[in-house]
Amino acid sequence: AQSVTQLDSQVPVFEEAPVELRCNYSSSVSVYLFWYVQYPNQGLQLLLKYLSGSTLVKGINGFEAEFNKSQTSFHLRKPSVHISDTAEYFCAVSSFSSGSARQLTFGSGTQLTVLP
Amino acid sequence: KAGVTQTPRYLIKTRGQQVTLSCSPISGHRSVSWYQQTPGQGLQFLFEYFSETQRNKGNFPGRFSGRQFSNSRSEMNVSTLELGDSALYLCASSLDRPSYGYTFGSGTRLTVV
């Protein structure tokens, strides 16, 4: 079984300030990690993913995330946010093994609100 | 390249009715998954289909069912609707390769009155 905890349900931040959205996961097997963004009345858009290799992952719209295996964390960061980054952000995990069924397990989401 | 298409975008149904939602995956994607999103429960996995076979099912009652056709299009059906079934239903498609991830549609907003 696996689970995801997003530590902050709401994060307000001023425009051009840096932001970090925190995500911790729990799993008994190796997992792949994802961050998705959801704008109002829309589906989920993939920001970035960690599969293996370098622990620092760069995604779209200037976002990046760092995988920390010892702390089982995958925090999302952006050095300077814009008004247009206002949205809900979801951290998700998935375990993959050859021939197995798949599913994403999501955190409860973090509402990022960028203030002018 | 067309994305994942879900129809209809909005639905209003009455308690006790049944509903069918449709999902057309990205061309070439053979894996289709369904998720339910509600304010109280968040995003929950419903089921996943691959090559017309259900490979995995989440913890939902038997009123929730689905199927996948030979062209990979998928439908999900909810029978005997309850007020608590009001949600955004999201479909995601994948190439079924570990490195690929999932592409989501815009969802179908179901309201049960």
Give pLDDT tens digits for B33-89: 999 999 999 999 999 999 999 988 999 999 999 999 999 999 999 999 999 999 999
pLDDT at A38: 97
pLDDT at A96: 64
Minimum CA–CA partner of B38 in chain A = A108
Question: Is A104 within 8 Å of B35 when comparing Cβ atoms?
Answer: yes
What distance lies between CA A98 and its chain's CA centroid? 25
pLDDT at B98: 65
Question: What proportion of chain B, given as a percentage, has pLDDT over 70?
Answer: 97
> Could you give the angle at the alpha carbon of B82 between the alpha carbons of B78 and B84, nearest 5°?
105
Instruction: Please state the rounded mean pLDDT for residues A4-11.
Output: 96
Question: Is B106 within 8 Å of A90 when comparing Cβ atoms?
Answer: no
Contact indicator for A77, A18 with CB cutoff of 8 Å: yes
Tell me which of B19 and B96 has the higher pLDDT: B19
Q: Nearest CA to B102 among A61, A70, A35?
A: A35
Mean pLDDT of chain A: 91
pLDDT at A30: 79
pLDDT at A60: 94
Q: What's B96's DSSP letter?
A: S
Best residue of A90, A103, A108 to probe chain B, by most B CBs closer than 10 Å:
A103
Neighbouring C-beta atoms of residue A40, cutoff 10 Å: 7
Give the tokens for residue B33.
């998954």
Contact residues on chain B for A103, CB-CB shorter than 8 A: 33, 45, 48, 56, 58
pLDDT at B42: 95
Give pLDDT tens digits for A61-113: 999 999 999 999 999 999 999 999 999 999 999 876 544 557 889 999 999 99
Question: What proportion of chain A, given as a percentage, has pLDDT over 70?
Answer: 95
pLDDT at A97: 59
Encode burial over B56-83: b for 16+ CB neighbours within 10 A, e otherwise: ebeebeeebbbebeeebebbbebeebee
pLDDT at B80: 97
Question: Is A101 within 8 Å of B105 when comparing Cβ atoms?
Answer: no
Distance set, CA B67 to CA B13, B15, B74, B82 (Å): 21, 23, 6, 21
What distance lies between CA A20 and its chain's CA centroid? 10
pLDDT at A29: 79
